[in-house]
């Protein structure tokens, strides 16, 4: 039986460490990995109809850029290490989206790097990692 791991990536150094750690674990556990990049989206932004039309175009551009600059290099690294993988880019609240995807894909575990975000944003909204640990339906490994 093959396990599936969900690997959250964002191009940061913490994400790079999570990739390396997930590769080690996938090889030991005969697991495949779903590489996920979540483009943060806020439901609290209110747009005009014109802005919504432009947003659709920008959304496609954001997905293409994320695939090319973040997700595809990680997929190449996994393939080089002989770990089967799938890739995806989603818009949404990162922790909620990752939790939903872990459940939808019956992931055994989620891997994510710690970015060490501090300051006002973290105090007001909390970190993605902290929110994911609280909401994930499966175990979360936070790689320092």
Angle between helices 128-135 and 94-104 (to 10 degrees): 40
- pLDDT tens readout for residues 119-128: 544 444 458 8
pTM above 0.75, yes or no: yes
Question: How many CA atoms, within 13 angstroms, populate the side-chain half-sphere of residue 33?
Answer: 31
pLDDT of residue 49: 67
Mean pLDDT for back-to-back runs of 10 residues, the chain (144 residues): 88 94 96 95 64 74 92 97 96 93 96 70 64 94 93
Domains located in the chain, CATH noted:
3-143 (3.40.50.620)
């Amino acid at each position: 039986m093959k396990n599936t791991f969900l690997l959250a990536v964002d191009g940061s150094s913490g994400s790079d460490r999570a990739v390396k750690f997930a590769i080690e674990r996938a090889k030991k556990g005969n697991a495949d990995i779903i590489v996920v990049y979540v483009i943060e989206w806020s439901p609290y932004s209110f747009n005009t109809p014109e802005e919504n039309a432009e947003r659709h175009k920008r959304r496609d551009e954001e997905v293409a850029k994320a695939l090319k600059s973040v997700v595809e290099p990680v997929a190449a690294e996994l393939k080089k290490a002989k770990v089967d993988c799938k890739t995806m880019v989603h818009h949404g609240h990162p922790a909620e989206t990752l939790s939903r995807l872990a459940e939808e894909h019956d992931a055994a575990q989620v891997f994510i790097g710690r970015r060490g975000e501090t300051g006002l944003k973290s105090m007001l909204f909390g970190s993605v990692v902290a929110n994911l640990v609280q909401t994930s339906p499966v175990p979360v490994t936070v790689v320092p």
